[in-house]
Structure 1
Amino acid sequence: MRRWHRVRRTINYVNLSTPLGLLVARLGRARVTAGPDGLVLAYGYRIPFPIAGAFTIGNVVLTRHGEAEGYLSGALLRHEDRHASQYAACAGLPMLPLYVVAVIVSMLVCGNQASWNLFERLANLEDGNYPRVSPWWARARRPGRE
């Protein structure tokens, strides 16, 4: 594990975001396993919120998918890894309300929760399987509409 990943793991424990992630995984009855780069992977999360294929709290990456499916790998895992770094940069738990504000801004700008969400853009939209949607004011008018 790289030095940065060890530092991030420590920061996210101290700022309480990883302990919160472990609590959410336990409440969601997810199976927890050690992942790469100091991440903790939680498979089989059973609570229907949030609506996402995977989400990260601290260094804990949660998904409803099973471990055997191989869902948390490749580009998606890199995307979630970047979110873990964002928790460290935001001093942990303040990222949660900041993320909600970013979702609201993105919805207002383009009607999509991720396309103009700063956190999702910094984590690479495509790696998270999110579309790039233009702002509403930049979209071309449809023919026949005024």
Structure 2
Amino acid sequence: MSAPGPVIGRVIGGRPRERRRTRAWWLARAYLNLVPTAAALAWGVAHGGRPVVGRDLFVECGGMRRGYARGGTTVGSVWLHGDLGGPERRRHEARHADQWAVLGPLVMPALYGLEAALTGADPRRSRFERHAGLEDGGYAPRRGSRTAPDPTPDEVPGAPPRRR
């Protein structure tokens, strides 16, 4: 018997509606994401990444020197990044892998790119990032935290302003 996955869902009557990811979903996600996962894994290793496969079949390819956007990028079931790491970020990126499995390798990048164009690449306005969890992705402060959220591309010091 496997340990339960993270609880996701809406709060109804003060209690979260529990939906747990199961081993069956992890297998289905791995199968549905097989082609983009293989390509991303090859890309990550070619750029110095060290792949680590979790029990949920989600691959974290950290230690990359380059070859990923922002702080990290998920393609299929592979999270490509430099040195972000951490369970919260991993949970956020695994939700992006779920999005890849549901939408497919052609629709997911097209819709994500369209969303980025429509929102000015602001992750706090992106439906994909909100669904994956802004706090887990480092885009919003945790409740009760006094630290500021990670900056958007417009807020990075020294970055040239974008035209709108």
**TM-score between the two structures when normalised by the length of structure 1:** 0.74
By relative contact order (CA 8 Å, sep 6+), the higher-ranking structure is: 1
Q: Which runs of 4+ in 1 moved over 4 A?
A: none
Aligned match of 2:122:
113
User: Alpha-carbon deviation of 1:126?
Assistant: 1.2
Counterpart code for 1:18: T
Aligned match of 1:30:
49
Counterpart code for 1:74: P
Aligned match of 1:128:
137
Say whether residues 1:6 and 2:24 are aligned partners: no
Say whether residues 1:53 and 2:71 are aligned partners: yes
Percent identical pairs in the alignment equals 32
Unaligned runs of 5+ in 2: 3-22, 142-164
Counterpart code for 2:44: A
Distance 1:82 1:101 in 2: 19
Unaligned runs of 5+ in 1: 66-70, 133-146
Aligned match of 2:148:
none
Aligned match of 2:107:
94
Q: Answer yes or no: is the 8 Å Cα contact 2:37–2:77 preserved in 1.
A: yes
Distance 1:48 1:28 in 2: 6
Q: What count of residue pairs does the alignment treat as equivalent?
A: 121
Counterpart code for 2:28: V
